[in-house]
Amino acid sequence: MTVEPPEPNPRSCTHKDFIRLFLESEKDLLRYVMVIVPNVADARDIVQETAVALWDKIDRYDPDKPFAPWACRFALNEAKMFLRKKSRQYRLADEVVNLLEIERMENSERLDARKHFLKECLKVLPKKNADLVNEYYFNELSVEELGKHFERSVEAVYKTLQRVRHALHSCIENKLQLEAKL
């Protein structure tokens, strides 16, 4: 089953808007595709093909709606095409891919709330920990590079990342629980 994008939108976004929206969503798209195709190189290729498909259909994007869910529909189609071409290498049935898409759609609000609270929780981390998280997760420095940069052992970096992840998880869960009570 192929998901069809909506009809053309007369208020399409500019080239600059598209680049900004795509770059903001690129990591989410990669994570989404990697659930279906766990090989990083293949997933990156699929995201690149998704970018091309998105660009070809950008006139169908409604700027009043979130970009990432719209882009994920294209990524799903690209992933399905990839899986059909590589059917010997990947044996993931269309039914499984469709179930993953349904799961993503059902959980998108919850994930959006978690992302929002993650941003809030990152702001209250001590500066050194926030810098460590930023360098590791957003700038993709290795643990070895972080050790050199922060003048700490690899083990100390791992331990700190573990503590910070736990603190962020607790912070997010607390905010979710408070929101649920409102």
User: Mean pLDDT score of the chain, rounded to an integer?
Assistant: 83
> 67 CB contacts (<8 Å, ≥6 apart)?
21, 22, 24, 25, 61
Residue with more model confidence, 108 or 30: 30
Residue in the block written with tokens 């900004």: 20
Which tokens in the block code for residue 167?
A: 């603190």
Kindly state the tokens that stand for 31: 């994570």
C-beta separation of 27 from 40 below 8 A: no
Q: List the one residue out of 12, 15, 28, 114 whose CA is nearest residue 75.
A: 28
Domain ranges of the chain: 1-92, 108-182
Looking at domain 1-92, its CATH class is: mainly alpha
pLDDT digit string, tens, across residues 161-177: 999 999 999 999 999 88
Question: What integer is the mean pLDDT of 41-47?
Answer: 93
**59: DSSP letter:** G
75-132 confidence digits (pLDDT tens): 999 998 888 887 655 555 566 666 766 776 677 777 778 888 988 999 999 999 999 9
Task: Count CB-CB contacts under 10 A for residue 43.
Answer: 22
> Do 1-92 and 108-182 have matching folds?
no
139 pLDDT more than 90 = no
Q: Domain 108-182 carries which CATH code? A: 1.10.10.10
Q: Which of 8-22, 23-37, 39-53, 112-126 has the lowest mean pLDDT?
A: 8-22
